[in-house]
């Protein structure tokens, strides 16, 4: 099939294809519109702070929403154009264009449209639009700085768009850092709360660790690709065999370090729960489709640096420590740890945050296992239901006047039915209930691990299945504790009511999106199992694989489905047993596993270890350097400054005073002596000068006449 | 009428001008003397021009050089007179006189020794 | 004569005297009886013009003001001007006490001498001309340019503040209006290619009067020349230097007797010369047919008849005296700053435009 | 044989010299300026003697008209009423000796170096022709001489600007 050549063919844009041309320009517009709106809002905010103007929240929200709406429309247009052309076979998967950024180098503003960016951009657009819509109702009550909020939210969304459509590593880095800084602003939105500002700082610093890896990785890549950081160029080189995965192992691991920081993988996941200090729409956006997905997107973009691709198979590269294996194992470990932490957590938003960590681990492990399409598959489904879940959680919190502990909720189903239903849909998807979107995609992830070349892949598969069970457990637990059971909230102060329609609209939209996805994905699954011949668009994963040019073998798909279905039902059953049927058993198990629970609640000591590392290793080294600097370097400098240069200066001073001044003064004295006698001639009267001049001319003429006789004038 | 006559006339006028420049006290009279000097030069220019016209069959430049130079001198004198008027008036405003010998602000005074 | 020592001595002395006297007369002028006659003719003609000009002016002015004017002396007062002149010549010549003798004396001589000298190149017919010199009209201008310093000296030498201020004004005004006056005729000079007034007139006989040519630029140049000429003659509305209300009589204040007569004469000489210059340069000179070459042989023959030419120019002259008088009665006086800014800011650019226009339409550039 | 033009030259030279001395020794500035005008007119007549009528016009109208008026203004505007000519004798004597030195030397110099050719100095009755030639050839001459006329124009402009600058500066 010529598909391989077609997918591997790389064509730069602007080769006369006007569609590609306009698509690239639309991409640029997608990135720029929210940014411009953000600048506008910041300007309005500045005027507000100066006391000149008071902008109502509605107007700020309208500006923010309109810009996002516009960009979303354009991004969906880009997606549809892209797919239309793709289905017709008109166009290659890669459309790229670049503008000069630093003259004479290949560092350029580059935009790249491939399946990844086209789909991700549209998805981000829909989710961000919903969240923006939701945020107005959420933020307008008692919040004064809605303008600032929307400005940063817009900025955040625009940065993510820029990252998605970025065409080379350099460009990605720029938007990567913009994401970091805008997330800093948003997490620290309630800056007057110490916990919020600390959380923002923590998120920023954890991210920075990854960013250093990213930067160094870019430098190494830059050297190896001859100065061209374009993704397409790197792929081209790899396909031609000029670069192999073994030479790119180190940069790949460094770039994975960046993803670890941004996507909160195993050692650096501590910042993500803290980031719940921001407003709930921010959490929804940050967890679903923007920030934490950026790291994974980066990994997917640089997928060929992790794996060699032979035909349709991703092959583990021939390196002593293959980066892919590291990624898979760290990912699956993160998934397990996140799920465990979600199980013990009692804060509604933190449960979701830990579940995010867990799902991100799944995605990372799939990337490591060579399953690019499963990873993206799961990324899409996760983005959808996680944004839905956060918005629902936000609605609950909003209703209960900022109570976040699930132990103080319960029985809310009676009061907020629609919220409960939508959240139930989301939780089912999260839990991996059969034929929900999460189920299909998670199954694909575990299948990709099973079919990969990763060392100890059976262990990883087992952990993945275990995690699926735990996920089902905590999802069910959360739904039960929040919406069912007895009403444990403070009834004197809080009267729950149904969520407003403004809030419900995004919830229902997203929930229906989850349902659509579920149906769509399930059709693909069933068709695959039943070996039906359907149009490619229905076989979503296969479709993705075709587009990416990398297939995961689907051996043992049915077996995997059965396994995971069993695990899901075990988890859900356990949750129902422990919370509804027999709560006392739960308490006894808790008391017996108290130590383990504390360990989990301390996040497995990872943060403690990091802090210990910083306190006892990094800071002492830094202090040692500081001491070295202050004692040795400064001492040397001071020694030379004080003694040696002073001696030289003294010598030159003496020389200057005695010799040079002597010469100068002596000549000045002699000139003054002679001038005091000659100055009498210069009386300042022009007439006298003229007389002397005339006398001189006359004497000259006399000399000529006397000694030269007749001058030969003629 | 010979060329010598013109040259001697010019010489005498020139000497009168020089004498005026040396002996006159006020700036305006010095300027008069300078005009005399310029006129003496003009006499020479024109006289030599005619001489060359009559003696040589030279080029156009040889035949009219003197006239052109005389015109340049006249233009120069006109410009000089315009600038001179402005200078004299500003001098007069500042010092209430234009006796050149009394205007020596740039010179060091005797007490500074 | 015999050969006695005395007679031989007388002979020698008389030879020397003849030699000395004849050395005053250029070789080509010797024995010039016709020249003498011409000189006499021109002199008497100018004299008549000079004496009739003021009379005509006074008469016309009187009629325009509803008066009768000079009436008693001679036939209808025609001898009024000679009578005035005689009266002035015989009056006592006074000089102010602290007046500068040298300046007071020399200024009058300079003024009188130069004004009479300015008649030299003016042709009254093709033959009746003092000297058809190559520099023609430039000569008139050069001679005229002596007038401002002389007037200034005269004003200064009178030791009177009126006279001094008048002298300042006179010099400034004359200097300001000489330039547009000269620039306005520069185009005509460029077209004709000669400074000679006869050449100009002959050109106009062949090609029509300049005033009516060149699509209005000729008229513009003529207007500028006429206005500047009025200012040069220091007549109303440009009589700032002698504004009676402020300065009594301007630089003329302290002069009396024959000096005053000369000054008044110079004033009318200026009027005459300016009118004649205008006539020569723009108004066809001694030609009466303004449309260039005529097919009618009668007109052509009459045009080249010397007597007709003299008559033509006389009639034209009195026409211009009439114009000048009308202007004098009709217009108020300008202020000094208006006058200077009018001269420098309006007339000068306009004259440049007129010059370029004439040169352009005459095809000099093509 | 004494010719008219020789006679005229001598008379004119005497006129120039005496009026030039008058410039120096006139009692009042204005008298001195009047003498200067006479000198300038005399020099113009010298030009006339060698058939340079056009230069005569320039000399009389520019020098005798324009520059003289400017100098008269300058003299009138800057002199006090009691400003009379005076010189101290020793100073004058020293200057006179210096000038005499130059005069004598130049006299000797000229008498040695100037050719003595009689009758060649002026040509008769071709003034008109010469003038026409002058006007038609001045542009060719100008090409050879470089930029004489623009130079004159620039010089006038500079002088105008300088005098305006001076006049304005004083008004502050």
Indicate the pLDDT class of residue A713, thresholds 50, 70 and 90. very low
Mean pLDDT, rounded, for C224-247: 81
Instruction: Examine residue B111 and state whether it is found in any structural domain, yes or no.
Output: no
User: Which residues in chain D have Cβ-Cβ distances shorter than 8 Å to A705?
Assistant: 105, 108-109
Range with top average pLDDT, A26-40, A296-310, D142-156? A26-40
In a domain, B113, yes or no: no
Same structural domain, A233 and A314? yes
B16 and chain A in contact, CB less than 8 A: no
Do residue A143 and residue A180 come from a single domain?
A: no
Preceding amide of C237 cis, omega within 30: yes
A387-401, C12-26, C253-267: least confidently modelled range: C12-26
CB contact under 8 A, D53 and C134: yes
Window from A568-572, B49-53, B97-101, D81-85 with minimum mean pLDDT: D81-85
**What's the whole-number mean pLDDT along residues C297-311?**
82
- For the ranges A552-561, B49-58, D73-82, the maximum mean pLDDT occurs at A552-561
Query: Are A416 and A474 in the same domain?
Result: yes
Structure tokens at D162: 């300088």
C178 in Cβ contact with C238 (< 8 Å): no
B24 part of a folded domain: yes
Mean pLDDT of C15-30: 64
Query: Which residues of D fall within a CB distance of 8 Å from B57?
Result: none
Highest mean pLDDT among A569-578, C11-20, D50-59: A569-578
- Return the pLDDT at A225: 82
Least confident of A466-470, A573-577, C130-134, D21-25: C130-134
- List of chains touching B (3+ CB pairs within 8 A): A, D
Q: Which has the minimum average pLDDT: A253-267, B7-21, C95-109?
A: C95-109
Decide if B19 is inside a domain: yes
Inter-CA distances, A654 with A650, A665, A669, B24, D25, Å:
6, 15, 21, 58, 67
pLDDT in tens, A379-437: 888 888 988 998 888 888 888 877 888 888 878 888 888 888 898 999 988 888 888 88
Last residue of a domain, one of A127, A145, A167: A167
Phi, psi of D94 (to 5 degrees): -60, -45
Same domain, A343 and A469: yes
Q: Flag whether C touches B (3+ CB pairs, 8 A cutoff).
A: no
DSSP letter at A705?
I
Q: Whole domain around residue B65: which residue ranges?
A: 3-104
* Mean pLDDT, residues C68-78: 84
pLDDT in tens, A228-248: 888 888 887 887 777 777 778
pLDDT at A4: 38
Q: Are A43 and A10 in contact (CB under 8 A)?
A: no
- What's the structural domain count of chain B? 1
- Give the mean model confidence (pLDDT) for residues C293-310: 82
Tokens at C17, concatenated: 């005297």
**Per residue in A25-55, is it b (16+ CB within 10 Å) or e — as a string?**
ebbbebbebbbebbebbbebbeebeeeeeee
Give the confidence band of C246 by pLDDT, cuts at 50, 70, 90: confident
- What residues in D contact B36, CB-CB < 8 Å? 20, 23, 36, 39
Using alpha carbons, list the distances in angstroms from residue D134 to A140, B61, C136, C188, D52. 96, 10, 16, 19, 10
Residues A54 and A132 in one domain: yes
The pLDDT value given to residue D18: 92
Q: Is residue A690 part of a domain?
A: no
Average pLDDT of the residues of chain D: 74
Tens of pLDDT, residues A131-176: 888 888 888 776 567 888 888 889 999 999 999 998 888 888 999 9
Q: Does A7 lie in the same domain as A109?
A: yes
Shared-domain flag, residues A593 and A630: no
Residue A13 pLDDT level (bands cut at 50, 70, 90): very low
Q: Tell me the chain A residues in contact with residue B23 when contact means C-beta distances shorter than 8 Å.
A: 687
Residue-wise pLDDT for B61-113, tens only, equals: 566 777 778 888 888 888 888 888 888 887 787 777 777 767 666 555 555 44
Mean pLDDT for D104-115 is 76
Orientation of helix A372-399 relative to helix A291-301, angle to 10°: 180
> Domain boundary residue among A167, A198, A227?
A167
**The predicted structure's pLDDT at residue A9:** 40
3-class DSSP assignment, residue D114: coil
Mean pLDDT over A532-548 rounds to: 71
Give the distance from residue B101's alpha carbon to the nearest chain A alpha carbon, in angstroms.
5
Residue B80 resides in a domain: yes
Instruction: Say what the pLDDT of residue B40 is.
Output: 92
**Which residue, of A547, A571, A601, is where some domain finishes?**
A601
CA quadruple A199, A205, A210, A214: dihedral positive or negative? positive
Q: Decide if A241 touches B, using CB distance below 8 A.
A: no
Residues of B in contact with A687 (CB under 8 A): 22-23, 100-101
The tens digit of pLDDT for each residue in A483-508 reads 887 777 777 777 777 778 888 888 88
Q: Which of the residue ranges A61-65, A218-222, A625-629, C133-137 would you say has the lowest mean pLDDT?
A: C133-137
Residue B22 domain flag:
yes
> What DSSP letter does each residue of A178-238 carry, written as one string?
HHHHHHHHHHTTSTTSHHHHHHHHHHHHHHHHHHHHHHHHHHHHHHHTTT--BHHHHHHHH
Answer yes or no: do A640 and A503 share one domain: no
CB contact under 8 A, B100 and A685: yes
Q: Do D102 and A701 touch (CB under 8 A)?
A: yes
Q: Chain A, 663-702: which have a CB under 8 Å from a chain D CB? A: 691, 694-695, 697-699, 701-702
Question: What's B94's domain CATH number?
Answer: 1.10.287.3510
The answer to whether residues A577 and A637 belong to one domain is no
pLDDT at C1: 44
3-state DSSP assignment of residue A110: strand
Query: Does the pLDDT value for residue A38 go beyond 50?
Result: yes
Cα(C273)–Cα(C266) distance, rounded to whole angstroms? 10
Q: Which of C194, C27, C44, C192 is nearest to C128 (CA)?
A: C44
Residue-range definition of the domain harbouring residue A127: 1-167
* Burial class of residue A640 (count of CB atoms within 10 Å of its CB; 0-12, 13-18, 19+): exposed
Averaged pLDDT for residues A27-49 = 88
> What pLDDT, on the 0 to 100 scale, is given for residue A134?
86
- Bridge partners (DSSP) of residue A230 are A168
CB spacing of D72 vs C149 below 8 angstroms: yes
Residue of D nearest to B48 (CA): D121
**CA neighbor of C171 nearest in space, from D73, B28, B79:** D73
Q: Report pLDDT for A89.
A: 62
Confidence of residue A12 (pLDDT cuts 50, 70, 90): very low
Name which of A549-563, D120-134, D144-158 the model is least confident about: D120-134
Helix boundaries (H) for A241-322: 249-262, 271-274, 280-288, 291-301, 303-306
Per the CB < 8 Å rule, is A687 touching B107?
no
Instruction: Give one DSSP letter per residue of C305-337, joined into a string.
Output: -HHHHHHHHHHHHHHHHHHHHHHHHH-PPPPHH
Is B110 a domain residue? no
Q: Tell the residue number behind the tokens 């993988």, with chain if given.
A: A265
Confidence class of residue A90 from pLDDT cuts 50, 70 and 90?
low
Same domain, A661 and A530: no
Cβ-defined contact of B22 to A682 (cutoff 8 Å): no
Whether residues D71 and B81 touch (CB distance < 8 A) is answered with yes
The overall average pLDDT reported for chain A is 82
Q: Cβ separation of A683 and B104 shorter than 8 Å?
A: yes
Q: CA of B112, closest CA in chain D: separation in Å?
A: 27
How many independent structural domains does chain A possess? 3
Residues A136 and A197 in one domain: no
Is the CB of B22 less than 8 angstroms away from the CB of A685?
A: no
Element (DSSP H or E) covering residue B78: helix B60-95
Q: Closest chain D residue to B89 measured between Cα atoms? A: D78
Portion of chain B with pLDDT greater than 90, in percent = 11
- For C245, residues 6+ apart whose C-beta sits below 8 A from its C-beta are none
Q: What are phi and psi of A337, to 5 degrees?
A: -65, -45
Q: Do B104 and A694 touch (CB under 8 A)?
A: no
Tell me the two tokens of residue C273.
């010369």
């Amino acid at each position: 099939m010529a598909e391989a050549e077609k997918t591997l063919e790389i064509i730069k844009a602007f080769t006369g294809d006007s569609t590609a041309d306009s698509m690239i320009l639309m991409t640029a517009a997608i990135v720029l519109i929210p940014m411009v709106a953000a600048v506008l809002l910041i300007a309005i905010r500045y005027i507000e702070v100066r006391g000149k103007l008071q902008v109502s929240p509605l107007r700020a929200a309208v500006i923010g929403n309109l810009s996002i709406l516009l960009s979303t429309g354009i991004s969906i247009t880009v997606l549809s154009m892209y797919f239309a052309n793709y289905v017709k076979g008109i166009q290659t998967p890669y459309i790229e264009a670049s503008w000069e950024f630093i003259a004479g180098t290949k560092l350029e503003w580059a935009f790249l449209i491939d399946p990844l960016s086209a789909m991700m951009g549209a998805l981000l657009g829909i989710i961000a639009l919903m969240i923006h819509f939701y945020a107005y109702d959420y933020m307008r009550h008692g919040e004064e700085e809605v303008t600032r909020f929307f400005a940063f939210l817009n900025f955040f969304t625009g940065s993510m768009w820029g990252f998605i459509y970025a065409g080379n590593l350099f460009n990605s880095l720029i938007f990567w850092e913009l994401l970091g800084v805008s997330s800093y602003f948003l997490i620290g939105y309630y800056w007057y709360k110490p916990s919020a500002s600390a959380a923002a700082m923590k998120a920023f610093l954890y991210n920075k660790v990854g960013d250093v890896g990213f930067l160094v990785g870019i430098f190494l890549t830059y050297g190896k690709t001859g100065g061209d950081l374009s993704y397409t160029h790197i792929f081209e080189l790899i396909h031609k065999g000029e670069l192999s995965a073994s030479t790119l192992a180190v940069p790949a691991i460094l770039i994975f370090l960046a993803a670890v920081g941004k996507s909160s993988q195993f050692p650096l996941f501590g910042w993500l729960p803290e980031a719940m200090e921001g407003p709930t729409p921010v959490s929804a956006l940050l967890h679903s489709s923007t920030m934490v997905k950026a790291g994974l997107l980066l990994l997917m973009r640089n997928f060929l640096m992790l794996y060699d691709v032979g035909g349709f198979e991703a092959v583990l590269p021939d390196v002593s420590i293959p980066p892919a294996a590291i990624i898979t194992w760290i990912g699956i470990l993160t998934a397990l740890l996140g799920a465990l932490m979600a199980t013990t957590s009692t804060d509604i938003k933190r449960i979701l945050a830990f579940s995010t960590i867990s799902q991100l681990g799944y995605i990372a492990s799939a990337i490591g296992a060579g399953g690019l399409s499963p990873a993206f598959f799961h990324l899409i489904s996760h983005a959808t239901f996680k944004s839905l879940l956060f918005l629902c959680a936000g609605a609950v919190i909003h209703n209960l006047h900022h109570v976040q502990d699930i132990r103080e909720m319960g029985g809310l189903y009676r009061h907020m039915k629609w919220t409960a239903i939508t959240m139930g849909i989301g939780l089912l998807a999260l839990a991996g209930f059969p034929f929900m979107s999460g189920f299909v995609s998670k199954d694909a992830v575990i299948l990709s691990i099973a079919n990969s070349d990763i060392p100890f892949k059976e262990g990883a598969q087992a952990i993945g299945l275990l995690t699926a069970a735990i996920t089902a457990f905590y999802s069910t637990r959360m739904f039960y504790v929040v919406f069912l059971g007895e009403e444990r909230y403070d009834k004197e102060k809080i009267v729950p009511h149904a969520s407003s329609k403004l809030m419900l609209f995004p919830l229902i939209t997203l929930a229906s999106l989850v349902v659509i996805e579920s149906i769509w994905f399930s059709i693909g699954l069933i068709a695959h199992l039943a070996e039906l011949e359907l149009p490619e668009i229905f076989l979503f994963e296969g479709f993705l694989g075709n587009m990416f040019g990398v297939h995961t073998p689907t051996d043992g798909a049915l077996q995997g489905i059965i396994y995971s279905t069993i695990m899901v039902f075990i988890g859900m059953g356990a949750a129902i047993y422990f919370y509804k049927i027999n709560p006392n058993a739960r308490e006894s198990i808790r008391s017996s596993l108290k130590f383990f629970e504390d360990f989990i609640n301390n996040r497995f000591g990872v943060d403690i270890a990091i802090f210990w590392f910083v306190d006892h290793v990094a800071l002492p080294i830094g202090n040692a350097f500081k001491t070295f600097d202050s004692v040795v370097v400064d001492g040397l400098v001071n020694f030379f400054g004080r003694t040696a240069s002073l001696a030289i200066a003294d010598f030159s001073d003496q020389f200057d005073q005695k010799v040079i001044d002597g010469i100068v003064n002596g000549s000045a004295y002699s000139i003054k002596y002679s001038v005091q006698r000659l100055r009498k001639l210069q009386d300042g009267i022009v007439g006298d000068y003229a007389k002397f001049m005339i006398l001189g001319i006359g004497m000259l003429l006399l000399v000529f006449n006397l000694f030269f006789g007749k001058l030969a004038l003629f | 009428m010979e060329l010598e006559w013109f040259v001697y006339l010019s010489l005498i006028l020139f000497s009168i001008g020089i004498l005026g420049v040396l002996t006159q006290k006020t700036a305006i009279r010095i300027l008069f003397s300078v005009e005399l000097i310029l006129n003496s030069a003009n006499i020479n220019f024109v006289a030599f021009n005619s001489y060359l016209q009559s003696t040589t069959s030279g080029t156009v430049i040889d035949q009219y050089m003197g006239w052109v130079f005389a015109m340049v001198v006249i233009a120069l004198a006109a410009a000089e007179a315009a600038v001179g008027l402005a200078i004299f008036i500003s001098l007069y405003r500042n010092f209430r006189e234009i006796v050149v010998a009394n205007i020596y602000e740039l010179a060091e005074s005797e007490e500074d020794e | 004569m015999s050969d006695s020592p005395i007679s031989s001595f007388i002979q020698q002395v008389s030879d020397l005297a003849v030699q000395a006297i004849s050395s005053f007369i250029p070789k080509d002028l010797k024995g010039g009886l016709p020249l003498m006659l011409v000189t006499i003719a021109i002199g008497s003609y100018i004299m008549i013009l000079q004496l009739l000009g003021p009379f005509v002016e006074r008469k016309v002015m009187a009629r325009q003001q509803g008066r009768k004017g000079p009436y008693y002396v001679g036939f209808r007062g025609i001898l009024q001007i000679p009578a005035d002149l005689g009266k002035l010549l015989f009056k006592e010549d006074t000089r102010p006490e602290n007046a500068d003798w040298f300046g007071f004396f020399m200024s009058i001589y300079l003024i009188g001498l130069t004004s009479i000298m300015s008649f030299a190149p003016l042709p009254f017919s093709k033959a009746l001309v003092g000297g058809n010199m190559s520099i023609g009209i430039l000569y008139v201008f050069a001679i005229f340019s002596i007038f401002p310093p002389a007037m200034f000296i005269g004003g200064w030498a009178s030791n009177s503040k009126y006279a001094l201020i008048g002298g300042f004004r006179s010099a400034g005004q004359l200097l300001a209006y000489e330039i547009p006056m000269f620039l306005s005729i520069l185009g005509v000079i460029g077209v004709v290619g000669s400074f000679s007034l006869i050449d100009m007139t002959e050109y106009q006989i062949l090609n029509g009067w300049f005033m009516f040519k060149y699509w209005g630029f000729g008229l513009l140049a003529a207007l500028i020349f006429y206005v500047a000429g009025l200012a040069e003659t220091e007549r109303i509305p440009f009589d700032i230097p002698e504004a009676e209300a402020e300065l009594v009589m301007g630089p003329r204040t302290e002069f009396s007797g024959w000096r005053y007569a000369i000054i008044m004469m110079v004033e009318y000489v200026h009027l005459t010369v300016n009118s004649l210059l205008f006539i020569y340069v723009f108004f066809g000179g001694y030609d009466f047919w303004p449309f260039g070459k005529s097919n009618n042989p009668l007109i052509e023959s009459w045009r080249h008849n010397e007597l007709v030419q003299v008559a033509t120019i006389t009639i034209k002259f009195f026409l211009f005296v009439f114009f000048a008088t009308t202007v004098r009665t009709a217009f108020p006086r300008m202020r000094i700053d208006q006058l200077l800014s009018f001269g420098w800011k309006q007339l000068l650019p306009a004259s440049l435009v007129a010059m370029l226009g004439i040169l352009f339409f005459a095809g000099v550039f093509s | 044989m004494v010719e008219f033009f020789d006679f005229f030259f001598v008379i004119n030279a005497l006129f120039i010299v005496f009026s030039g001395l008058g410039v120096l020794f006139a009692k009042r500035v204005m008298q001195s300026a009047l003498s200067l005008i006479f000198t300038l007119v005399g020099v113009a007549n010298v030009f006339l003697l060698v058939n340079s009528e056009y230069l005569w016009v320039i000399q009389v109208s520019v020098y005798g008209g324009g520059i003289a008026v400017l100098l008269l203004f300058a003299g009138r505007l800057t002199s006090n009423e009691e400003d009379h000519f005076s010189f101290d004798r020793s100073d004058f004597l020293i200057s006179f000796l210096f000038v005499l030195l130059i005069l004598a030397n130049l006299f000797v110099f000229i008498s040695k170096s100037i050719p003595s050719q009689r009758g060649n100095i002026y040509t008769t009755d071709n003034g008109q022709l010469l003038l026409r030639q002058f006007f038609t050839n001045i542009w060719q001459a100008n090409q050879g001489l470089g930029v004489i006329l623009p130079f004159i124009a620039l010089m006038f402009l500079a002088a105008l600007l300088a005098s305006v600058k001076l006049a304005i500066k004083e008004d502050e």
